[in-house]
Amino acid sequence: MHDFSALIRRNLPSGVMRLLEITAAEAEARGLTLYAVGGVVRDLLLGTPKLDVDILIEGDAISFGMSLCERFGGHLHTHRAFGTAKWRIDTAAAAALDLPRAELPPFLDLVTARSEQYAYPAALPTVAPGSLRDDLLRRDFTINTLAARLAPRPLGTMIDLFGGESDLREGIIRVLHKASFIDDPTRIFRATRFEGRLGFRMDAHTEGLIPEALPYIQHLSGERIQHEFELLFTEMRPEHALARMKSLKVLEQIHNALTFDEWIGEAFENARAFVAKPEWNLIRVDLSAIYWMLLTCRLVDTDGVAARFRLDRHRTGQIMQGVRMWKALPALEAELAPSAAVRLLEGLSDESLIAGYAATTAPLARHNIVCYAFHWRFVDASLTGNDLRAMGVKPSPLMGTLLARLRDACLDGEVNSPDEERAAVLRWLREASAES
Ligand code: ATP
């Protein structure tokens, strides 16, 4: 049996350990029983600790949160229907706790132990206050049911009601009961996500429960499925879970056009490799957007898929840019004048350019995309509309045409100085008047 406090001391910043000690002392003074549960215990045992700690209380988490807030400050966000509270530990609270802010998590999640019932498959559950056991019973997999008691002390007694520790050791994802995936089909997504992240595998019984739960995926709202995919896209290698979802026939239940193949896996890898190159300095790139694009750009019914996921206008716009990028690729796989490449790529976001780069291995297409992204899109003529007006061109469609032509000439190296630009404009004007 593990000594949780020793694990925390070894693996977590001392500030977090102190925070848990202080919280436990507060709970003890109020006669409450307190546990650290779920991911934090799992990840500590795996040696990959995370900062956010879920605290489970046999009792009212909201009034406990309020007492922490009264004593130490900070802010409390409550969810009365679920009996949960999020204690935001701001600078003042960190000072009152006498702990360095940098070593503290921004939030402490406080949860009332509860039992859960599903009125019908894939429904959102109805909840009622319950015991630790009730609360652990409603969880997805045994590896997420480990709890460490924080109060009453001694702090750190491990509670393992469902064999989570041995499954963690053996790398097994196991549901707690046979209706688990039917009650909540999002657990199928979670199972593949944990498999991919941890290199674990569902046991045969758990995997065998998926086929009968597949039809219930249709009952999940687009928002819930979208949320699962957004979580998936924060994983290091989302393609692992997608490959499993494909082979378990999960993707086609979401939308019959949705699929996964090696091409997508490789494109994901290419995109990550591109974003990771220090010379690009691409800190702000939205990798999830790139994944969405690569997942959907080759589909016939991109609109239908976007609608099924209930993607908002922003995400839908992004995947439509992905489609435009995908369609431009064949034309980009050629020696092009820079101006021609610019016409194909103009207006595309950084994310869609990276998606395009990741979607092709054709050297010329990649060359054109990189040149556009880092050079060509910043090229402009030095003459402006005002300069043209001073040369006698009236504001008119002709002026727009001349400015565009001038930019093309700059891009293609046909003019290389303001004087050359001016000479080119005068020549075009002469040609135009000769023609009319
Ligand atoms: P992560 O590292 O991905 O954040 P986590 O285990 O902390 O993993 P959360 O999504 O934050 O995952 O959920 C917290 C806990 O709530 C989980 O450990 C799990 O026990 C439980 N849980 C979350 N979603 C479900 C679900 N759909 N069904 C049952 N239990 C769930």
Q: Could you tell me the distance, in angstroms and rounded to a whole number, from the CA of residue 227 to the centre of ligand 1?
A: 13
According to DSSP, the β-strands at 201-202 and 172-173 are parallel
* Two tokens, residue 305: 């898929």
The region, left, alpha or beta by phi > 0 then psi within -120 to 50, assigned to residue 162 is alpha
- Residues in the ligand 1 pocket, defined by CB under 6 Å: 38-39, 54, 139-140, 144, 184, 186-187, 190
**pLDDT the model gives residue 48:** 85
Q: How far is CA 422 from the centre of its chain?
A: 50
Q: How far apart are CA 265 and CA 320, in angstroms?
A: 20
Distance in angstroms (rounded) separating the CA atoms of residues 184 and 186: 5
Whether the CB-CB separation of 424 and 434 falls below 8 Å is answered with: no
Question: Which atom of ligand 1 is nearest to 136's Cα?
Answer: 20
Strands (E), 154-222: 157-159, 172-173, 201-202
Look at the block and give the residue holding tokens 């924060």.
234
pLDDT at 282: 67
Burial label for 104, CB within 10 Å (0-12, 13-18, 19+), is: buried
Residue located nearest, by CA, to atom 17 of ligand 1: 38
Q: Which domains does the chain have, with CATH numbers?
A: 2-170 (3.30.460.10), 178-254 (1.10.110.30), 255-378 (1.20.58.1960), 385-435 (no CATH)
Quick one: how far is CA 165 from the chain centroid? 28
Q: Which atom of ligand 1 is nearest to the CA of 54?
A: 14
Radius of gyration of the CA atoms of the chain, in A:
29
- 145 CA closest ligand 1 atom index: 20
Going from the Cα of 180 to the center of ligand 1, the distance in angstroms, rounded, reads 14
Local mean pLDDT, 10-residue blocks, the chain (436 residues):
69 83 93 93 88 90 95 94 92 91 90 88 82 94 95 88 96 97 97 98 98 97 98 97 98 96 97 86 86 96 95 96 97 95 96 96 96 94 92 88 95 94 92 80
| Token couple for 160 | 């393992």
Nearest CA to ligand 1 atom 25: 140
CA-to-CA distance for 80 and 140, rounded, in angstroms? 23
| Identity of the residue numbered 60 | D
Instruction: Give how far Cα 206 sits from Cα of 173, 194, 263, Å.
Output: 8, 14, 29
**CA–CA distance from 228 to each of 43, 46, 134, 225, 294 (Å)?**
20, 23, 25, 5, 17
150-169 in b/e burial notation, b at 16+ Cβ within 10 A? bbeeebbbbbbebbbbebbe
Which ranges constitute the DSSP H helices of 248-396?
251-254, 262-276, 287-296, 302-308, 313-332, 338-345, 350-359, 363-374, 385-390
Q: What is the pTM of this model?
A: 0.91
Q: For atom 24 of ligand 1, which residue has the closest CA?
A: 140
C-alpha of residue 428 to centroid of ligand 1, in Å: 67
Residue nearest to atom 6 of ligand 1 (CA): 39
The two three-digit tokens of residue 85, written as one number? 């509270």
Gap between the Cα atoms of 314 and 114, Å rounded? 37
Q: Let me know: does 405 contact 428? Beta carbons within 8 Å.
A: yes
Ramachandran bin of 70, using left for φ above 0, alpha for ψ from -120 to 50, beta for the remaining angles? alpha
